[in-house]
Structure 1
C-alpha cells in the first residue's frame, strides 16, 4: 500500500506484517483514511460506530474510510465486524448509495463483495439506533 495516498486528521499507528492496520485515535472531529486502488495489502480501520446524523442507513458520524477506485472497475470486499445494530453505508459516485445492516444471525458481521466502477466510495459505519454504538473493525480487500 502506498502511504502517500492515506490522509487522516488523527495520528496513525501501523502494525508490521502482511497486514497494514490503521488505527484512528483521539476524540472528536472528522477522521478517515483514504486509499486508492490497486490495494496490495488489506486496509483495516478500527473505530466506534454510530453518530448523530440520521441517514437512510441508520445513524452515522464521520466517514470511516474513503476508497478511490482508479481502474475502470475493481473487485473489492468490505467487511465490518461490529454489533448486532451496526450498519455500513457506502456512498458511491453518481449518488449511488448502498446500505447493509448487521443482525444477530450474522453475529454483527457485514460483508459486501462486488465489482465496483471507477470513482470515489465513502464508507460510514453507523448504528440502527441513535443511542447505539459499538467498537468495530472495517477491512477493505482488493480481490
Structure 2
C-alpha cells in the first residue's frame, strides 16, 4: 500500500473531528494541524532476507510496508483553538487506532520521543519547538 495513501487516510481520520484544517506537510505559520512524517522505518524482515523474485510479479508487492513515524503539530500559538485542535487529533487517534485503507488496515500507536530527540528533530528541520503528539503508523494486513 503506497505511503501517501496511508497518510491521506490518516489525515481523513483526524480531519473528521479537527477544529482546524489538517495538512500532510512540514509545519509552517498557517493556522492548522500538520501531520509531519519524519521517518520511514523498513520492516526488519526486508533488511535481513532477499525479496522473492519471479518474472511475473513485483518483488515489492509481497514486502511488508514500512512504518511511518510522524508528529501531529499545530501552529506555535498556545491559544485555546490550537490546544483544542491538538486534543481533537489525539481523541480521533485514540478512538480509531485501526482503520481500513484500500484493501488493507493500518494501526496508529502513540510513540515516545525524549526531549533531546524532539529538540534534535526540530533543530535539524529549523522549525520552532512547539506542542506535538508523536505516533507510529503501521500496516496490519
TM-score (norm 2): 0.31
Task: Work out which of the two has the higher radius of gyration on C-alpha atoms and give 1 or 2.
Answer: 2
TM-score (norm 1): 0.30
More helix by share: 2
More strand by share: 1
